[in-house]
Amino acid sequence: MEPTIFILIFAFLLAVWYLLWSQSRFVRLINALPGPKTLPILGNALDLINLNQQELNRKMSIEWVKKYGSLYRLSPSIHSMVIIAAPERMEEILRNPKYISKGSAYYPTSPYLSSSLPFATDDQYWRKSRRLLNPAFHIQVLNSYMNVFNEISVAASHEFEKAIEANNGGEFDIFHLMMGCAMDAICETVLGRKKLKKEDKEKLIWHWESLRYIIVQRYIKPWLQFNWLFELTALGHKNKIVMEGIIESSSKFVQCHRDSLKQESTEKEFKTKLNILQDESVNNNNNVSDITDFEKSKKKLGFMDLIVKECDVNGNYSEKEIAQEVATMVKVTQPAWGFETTGLAMIWFLYTIAKHPKHQQMIVDELDAVFGNEDRPCTLQDLTELKHLKYCIKETLRLYPSAPLIMRCLPEDVEIGEYTLPKGVTVGLSIYGMHHNPQVFPDPETFKPERFLPENCIGRHPFAFSPFSAGPRNCIGQKFAMLALQVILANLLRRYHFFVNPSAPEVMTLQDVTLNPNAPVKLVVSKR
């Protein structure tokens, strides 16, 4: 067949397909929503393709919300999605247990992480995993990590001291230092492993930074959304290398933990140990009065103990599935949990209070009132008295939510206000857009920790502040995240002051899987 004839036939068939598709009920309902003007087949691709990640974040979360409202459609290609940036509208999606599927929204991670808890597109698998893993995030398990968080804080303080000396008291980038601190927190608690070597940390960070970039590129470039075409590109080849590296590293985590449990035990004793760890004192230690007694009772399994048990004893996970779960725990287990999201929260917090010395001093005064001159570990009781620290952390998470956009795929038509969202559409819940919506938070760009005083929260929609998502598929690790943030940041502020160079340009945010800075976060740090 002549190439010209082939092209004409293909163009004719494409035109017929597009005509039929554009008259479908799905498209008619989508087109009834407000949003930027679309082009045939390309949708809004031309609006998106020339935007850098900084511009994309502002356009999607601020400008288009202001122009089209808190619910609008966006079509990177023929695959349309609906963006929502208002709590009362988000609630319709987040609260309903039927709307927990992420559908194809997370296909860039498939087939590598599609079975892990945050990325799972199979509802039944997600429900099973959530039920099995919930005990690993019991408050008593999390409280037992206090000593580890205190030790990591001390180690981070030593790293700051080295950085201060190396830079002669001048400014330096805190990004990798705080990411390393967050990774240590994950490894020594959830993964039950001592700190990683520097080169292993750098390798993991590179893997996840690469994956973030790949996911964003697939969303904004319509031709990359076809799997067969994507796999033929250099980006597709890189994706395969990156994901295989992540799974390989995670498999090593699992095997190391399994080996430590088996040490000096027979196979039978190993399985017995896993069963006994959780059951031996559940019914006999109901009067545990403090964290020391709890640690001795060992009545709850941690994440790695639990997931190895579910694989080796109960058969609920395959080797591939537990590697996927561990990979995701290292990175991000839904918003604001995992080494990167926790690390980002700490980075944005230190940057923000460095820009607001008044609030930094209020935290320091609070710390001095609680600790005085004592160089002792932070306790759970101490945290209850560090109220302004908690308000500042929450305000930082409002301004810089680690996961700015959460996806859901609707299994049925959903009525929201005057609009009908059709079955099968992907909904993008813009946490960043909602947190920066002036109708939700007046003067949204201003750092105001007092927003979270109890009296100022009265009347606020319960979903208005959702850095950890909300509803049935909320973040399984949100309590872990808040505990780690409070302990580590409190201990750092007991030892150091943080300042920004007044002549330095402001650090902006990038639209990404997580909310990253667009430039090095350089601070001047001095001992107190």
Tell me the CA distances in angstroms from 35 to 31, 38, 54, 178, 425, one per residue in order. Answer: 8, 9, 20, 39, 15
CA 509 to chain centre: 15
Is the pLDDT assigned to residue 370 strictly greater than 90?
yes
Q: What is the pLDDT of residue 265?
A: 56
Q: What is the pLDDT of residue 258?
A: 73
Highest mean pLDDT among 52-56, 176-180, 293-297: 176-180
Q: Is 256 within any annotated ligand binding site?
A: no
Q: What is the pLDDT of residue 266?
A: 55
Q: Quick one: pLDDT band at residue 287, thresholds 50, 70, 90?
A: very low
DSSP E strands in 291-412: the ranges are 405-409
Is the pLDDT assigned to residue 106 strictly greater than 70?
no
Q: What is the pLDDT of residue 403?
A: 84
Whole-model pTM? 0.82
Is the pLDDT assigned to residue 334 strictly greater than 80?
no
Tell me the CA distances in angstroms from 489 to 52, 407, 485, one per residue in order. Answer: 32, 30, 6
Is the pLDDT assigned to residue 284 strictly greater than 80?
no
Instruction: Give the separation between CA 274 and CA 133, rounded to whole angstroms.
Output: 15
Q: Which CATH class is domain 55-263+302-527?
A: mainly alpha
Is the pLDDT assigned to residue 368 strictly greater than 80?
yes
Question: For the chain, percent helix, then strand, then coil, each to nearest 5?
Answer: 55, 10, 35
Highest mean pLDDT among 42-46, 235-239, 258-262, 377-381: 377-381
Is the pLDDT assigned to residue 54 strictly greater than 70?
yes
Q: What is the pLDDT of residue 338?
A: 60
Residue 37 in tokens: 């003007």
Q: What is the pLDDT of residue 20?
A: 85
Q: What is the mean pLDDT of the chain?
A: 82
Q: What is the dihedral of CA 187, 387, 405, 244, to 10 degrees?
A: 0
501 versus 2: the higher-pLDDT residue is 501
Is the pLDDT assigned to residue 136 strictly greater than 90?
no
Lowest average pLDDT, out of 48-62, 386-400, 481-495, goes to: 48-62
359 versus 182: the higher-pLDDT residue is 359
Lowest average pLDDT, out of 18-22, 151-155, 412-416, 484-488, goes to: 18-22
Q: What is the pLDDT of residue 317?
A: 63
Q: What is the pLDDT of residue 116?
A: 45
Average pLDDT over residues 181-209: 78
Q: What is the pLDDT of residue 280?
A: 44
- φ/ψ of 314, rounded to 5, equals -95, -15
Average pLDDT over residues 386-390: 98
Q: What is the pLDDT of residue 314?
A: 62
Structural domain boundaries in the chain: 55-263+302-527
Is the pLDDT assigned to residue 112 strictly greater than 60?
no
Is the pLDDT assigned to residue 194 strictly greater than 80?
no
Q: What is the pLDDT of residue 323?
A: 65
Residues 6+ apart with CB under 8 A from 202: none
Torsion sign, CA atoms 297, 303, 304, 308 = positive
Work out the burial of residue 79: count CB atoms within 10 Å of its CB; fewer than 13 is exposed, 13-18 middle, 19 or more buried: middle
The per-residue b/e assignment along 285-322, b for 16 or more CB within 10 angstroms, e otherwise, is eeeeeebeebeebbbbbbbbbbbbbbbbeeeebeeebb
Q: What is the pLDDT of residue 281?
A: 38
Q: Which of 330, 307, 464, 475 is nearest to 394 (CA)?
A: 464
Q: Quick one: pLDDT band at residue 202, thresholds 50, 70, 90?
A: confident
Q: What is the pLDDT of residue 361?
A: 98
Q: What is the pLDDT of residue 441?
A: 97
Lowest average pLDDT, out of 233-237, 285-289, 357-361, 390-394, goes to: 285-289
Q: Quick one: pLDDT band at residue 420, thresholds 50, 70, 90?
A: very high
Q: Which single residue is written with the structure tokens 């560090």? A: 386
Q: What is the pLDDT of residue 282?
A: 42
Is the pLDDT assigned to residue 461 strictly greater than 50?
yes
Q: What is the pLDDT of residue 286?
A: 42
Is the pLDDT assigned to residue 292 strictly greater than 70?
no
Q: What is the pLDDT of residue 243?
A: 81
Residues 6+ apart with CB under 8 A from 414: 92, 93, 99, 420, 421
Q: What is the pLDDT of residue 354?
A: 98
Q: Quick one: pLDDT band at residue 268, thresholds 50, 70, 90?
A: low
Q: Quick one: pLDDT band at residue 5, thresholds 50, 70, 90?
A: confident
Is the pLDDT assigned to residue 328 strictly greater than 60?
no
